[in-house]
Amino acid sequence: MANVSDLYEAGVKAGRLKPDAAQRGVLPALDRVARELAAAPPAAGPRKSGWLSKLVGNGNSPAPAPAVRGLYLWGGVGRGKSMLMDLIMEAAPVARKRRVHFHEFMQEIQAALEAVRKTGQQDAVRPVARQVAEQARLLCFDEMQITDIADAMIVGRLFQILFEEGVTIVTTSNRVPEDLYKNGLNRQLFLPFIALIRERMEVTELTSATDHRQNRDEGGQVWFIPADAGARSAMDALWQRLADCERPAPLVLEVKGRKVELPAHCDRVGRASFWDLCAKPLGPADYLALADAVDTLFIDGIPRLSMSNYNEAKRFVTLIDALYEARVRLIASAADEPERLYAEGEGAFEFERTASRLREMRGADWGKPG
């Protein structure tokens, strides 16, 4: 079995990774998870759901082995948390493992809960959590952040049952657990979840001084400031070159009965204004669908962001997360450099990740593979 340290050092040796003392500092914690997973008895496996077990009730199925203690890895942007999570995914010697963006996972959970509730079941969380546990013994969540009250109110029970079912959770986050769902509605109901994380997961900070996204080679210019007439004509010229259709047409995606519209589209190259994308009540599912539908996206007129356009700013953060995850190439005009778009006030913290990503997305090698 390879351990995470070996994979990391192999990456350094091959020149893919720059040695980083803080990253090396958290490798033992990752190795510990992989080692314990290797040593733990195989999980109970999928519960039988045939007629017999229904008859005798689930209480009679053997209790799953206790979950190996997982890891909550948190720290600043671009420090390498997601990269380290990829390494543990590779190293962990379990067949049923899954890495998923936390947003995307919660979308799935909410949809599954809705489906179960329609059948008239009172407690929907338990069957849904069991379904998840059947599919994965190791769950890696990238970017745990909780901004939605519906998510905030169920994660505690969800995780509790996942742990009971023997699932090991490794997660990355920009925030220390105590700051999750900070200032959220009904936060007191959320606090047991924080206690649960502390109890069932090892919490480790990645304190690297290096944002590995900075100092990349930039590609051609793809970020035009300020968003004035000059930027407009530069964007138009790029659009002429990349959207090579006789007549670009709008693209309308259907997401859960909602319509998500890109005003202009041509062969996986799309164009919209900031307001087209962020002024309508769109959410993660819509942006994931959009990110899936294009390889390159033009966004015109990203304004300065602040508390005064907080909802639009929040959607923009979600949009960039989706575009980043899907490696969509972004061409934009904006009021300022990413780091200065959201200078202060509530929401500025979340925006640090967005700014760091916008930087990385300018890189010459950015884009969907193939």
Ligand X SMILES: Nc1ncnc2c1ncn2[C@@H]1O[C@H](COP(=O)(O)OP(=O)(O)OP(=O)(O)O)[C@@H](O)[C@H]1O
Q: In this structure, are residues 204 and 73 in contact, taking their beta carbons and an 8 Å threshold?
A: yes
User: Least separation, in Å, of the C-beta of 151 and ligand X?
Assistant: 19
Q: In this structure, are residues 324 and 356 in contact, taking their beta carbons and an 8 Å threshold?
A: no
Residue 272 has, within 13 A of its CA and on its CB side, a CA count of 25
- Give strand pairing partners of 206: 75
| Concatenated DSSP letters of 107-159 | HHHHHHHHHHHHTT-S--HHHHHHHHHHH-SEEEEES-----HHHHHHHHHHH
CA distances from 193 to 57, 175, 187 (A): 28, 14, 10
Kindly state the tokens that stand for 194. Answer: 């924080």
Phi, then psi, of 178 in degrees rounded to 5: -60, -20
325 binds, among ligand X, Mg ion, none (CB under 5 to 8 A by kind): none
DSSP structural state of residue 41: P
The region of 77-85, 223-231, 289-297, 320-328 touching Mg ion under the rule CB under 5 A is: 77-85
Quick one: 174 or 296, whose CB is closer to ligand X? Answer: 174
Question: Quick check: 121 binds Mg ion (CB under 5 A)?
Answer: no
145 binds, among ligand X, Mg ion, none (CB under 5 to 8 A by kind): none
18 binds, among Mg ion, ligand X, none (CB under 5 to 8 A by kind): ligand X
User: Least separation, in Å, of the C-beta of 213 and ligand X?
Assistant: 5
Question: Quick check: 76 binds Mg ion (CB under 5 A)?
Answer: no
Quick one: 106 or 269, whose CB is closer to ligand X? Answer: 106
User: Least separation, in Å, of the C-beta of 140 and ligand X?
Assistant: 12
Quick one: 143 or 165, whose CB is closer to Mg ion? Answer: 143
168 binds, among ligand X, Mg ion, none (CB under 5 to 8 A by kind): none
Query: In this chain, which of 82, 121, 147, 207 binds Mg ion, going by CB under 5 A?
Result: 82
Rounded (10°) angle between helices 4-13 and 81-91: 120
Q: Is 61 helix (H, G, I), strand (E, B) or coil?
A: coil
User: Least separation, in Å, of the C-beta of 77 and ligand X?
Assistant: 4
Quick one: 77 or 285, whose CB is closer to ligand X? Answer: 77
Task: Burial-class residue 6 by CB neighbours within 10 Å (0-12, 13-18, 19+).
Answer: middle
177 binds, among ligand X, Mg ion, none (CB under 5 to 8 A by kind): none
Binding footprint of ligand X on the chain (CB under 6 A): 17-18, 20, 23, 77-83, 143, 172, 174, 212-213, 353, 356
Which residues contact Mg ion by CB under 5 A?
A: 81-82
